[in-house]
Amino acid sequence: MTCIVGLVDGNNIWMGGDSAGVGGHDLRIRKDVKIFKINDRFLFGYTSSFRMGQLLRFGFTPPEQSQKRGNYEYMCTDFIDSVRKRFKDGGYSLIKDNREEGGFFLVGYKGNLYQIEGDFQVGECADDFDSVGCGSSYALGALYITRKNKNPRDRILQALETAEYFSTGVKRPFVIEKLG
């Protein structure tokens, strides 16, 4: 289900997402958005589970970044440790064969875009864009093709429209937010 798209534009992070809730062959348009800000410092966009998104959106307070840690190191350590704790406390983490699993989401923080994967690894693409969800391959293609377009909102909208056209798990309305 879903397509979440993130884009770095200078010091600004743009993110967009769809409104589909998909289970098997069933589709519902959800009012609860998949894109949200926390403290005007973080921009989130999630797939995997609405419960996971609710745990992040409500009751998750990212820790302060130590001056001793760079942004990426902070995201890989203090930030992820807090996410893992929130998931455990909220009953969302899956522990199987001594391995912990969460879900997939994008995070914009201090002009950077990070992809958090199911095993809690933190990725940062060399491109100025990224995407997660069942429509991500279509969105990534659209973002690549529109890379010379300087309007980030238009690029995100085109990426989401492309994903909606080709993927049954992506549906309007689209929500687009900017951090920065």
pTM above 0.85, yes or no: yes
pLDDT at 148 (0 to 100): 95
State the average pLDDT for the chain. Answer: 97
- Please report which confidence band the pLDDT of residue 98 belongs to, taking 50, 70 and 90 as the band edges: confident
- The answer to whether residue 1 scores a pLDDT higher than 90 is no
How far is residue 76's CA from residue 135's CA, in Å, rounded to a whole number? 26
Mean pLDDT of 136-143: 98
pLDDT over 70 percentage in the chain: 100
Q: Answer for the pair 4, 35: CB distance below 8 angstroms, yes or no.
A: yes
DSSP β-ladder status, 20-23 and 42-46: unpaired
The answer, yes or no, to whether residue 6 has pLDDT greater than 90, is: yes
What percentage of the chain exceeds 90 in pLDDT? 96
- Residue 45 pLDDT more than 90? yes
94: left (phi over 0), alpha (psi -120 to 50) or beta: beta
Report the CATH number of the 4-179 domain.
3.60.20.10
21-44 residue pLDDT tens: 999 999 999 999 999 999 999 999
